[in-house]
Amino acid sequence: MNEIKIGIATQNDIPAIADIEKACFSTPWSENAILESMNATTTFYAAYQNDVVAGYMGVSKIAGEGYVTNVAVLPPYRRNGIGKALLEYVIADCKDTLEFISLEVRVSNAPAIALYERAGFKEVGLRKRFYTHPDEDALIMTKTFL
Ligand SMILES: CC(C)(COP(=O)(O)OP(=O)(O)OC[C@H]1O[C@@H](n2cnc3c(N)ncnc32)[C@H](O)[C@@H]1OP(=O)(O)O)[C@@H](O)C(=O)NCCC(=O)NCCS
């Protein structure tokens, strides 16, 4: 059965989130970094498929503003609607308490940019050489809640 369940991640999910980071990024967050972030301002949302944490999204919430720390889905689980379901859940969870959610994305990351555009994020700017490994500019994309 392939039902996707989304919920707020707990400390028990941190090893799985760190594994997703390692599978998806050149400079992955460690378990400690995730724990510190969870204990500070970041809400981690997890997508479970058949009880496996297949994807996650972090949103740091400060003074009514939301900043996405990361979004990632394990490679074998991609193109299955999990990223879209995570964004929809996060938007529904944040739209009454945040003014906006903003994020950075590599300018070459067409899958993620398409995902964000479909969820209603708009390009609002560019950060030159924001990323390393490899060096690359970031698009800034924001979804505003009126
Ligand atoms: C970006 C990412 C989270 C998308 O997750 P996903 O679960 O595969 O996305 P979904 O299946 O929900 O796709 C939703 C929409 O996003 C877009 N999309 C997703 N993957 C795409 C791809 N490879 N190419 C083009 N569009 C894509 C499509 O519009 C898609 O809708 P469709 O399937 O109806 O065409 C995933 O590819 C990933 O983890 N990438 C590596 C980590 C990363 O780059 N994160 C973003 C950091 S800013």
pLDDT in tens, 26-36: 999 999 999 99
The answer to whether 67 is a known catalytic residue is no
Q: Is 99 a catalytic residue?
A: no
pTM of the prediction?
0.96
Pocket of ligand 1 (CB under 6 A): 24, 70-73, 78-84, 105, 109-112, 114-115, 118
CA 103 – CA 105 distance, rounded (Å): 7
Mean pLDDT confidence for 13-18: 98
CA of 75 to the centre of ligand 1 (A): 10
Domains of the chain: 4-144 (3.40.630.30)
Task: Of 92, 81, 70, give the one whose Cα is nearest residue 5.
Answer: 81
pLDDT digits 0-9 by tens, 92-114 = 999 999 999 999 999 999 999 99
**How far is Cα 137 from Cα 60, in angstroms, rounded to an integer?**
22
Q: What is the mean pLDDT of residues 77-91?
A: 97
pLDDT score, position 20: 98
The pLDDT assigned to 14 comes to 98
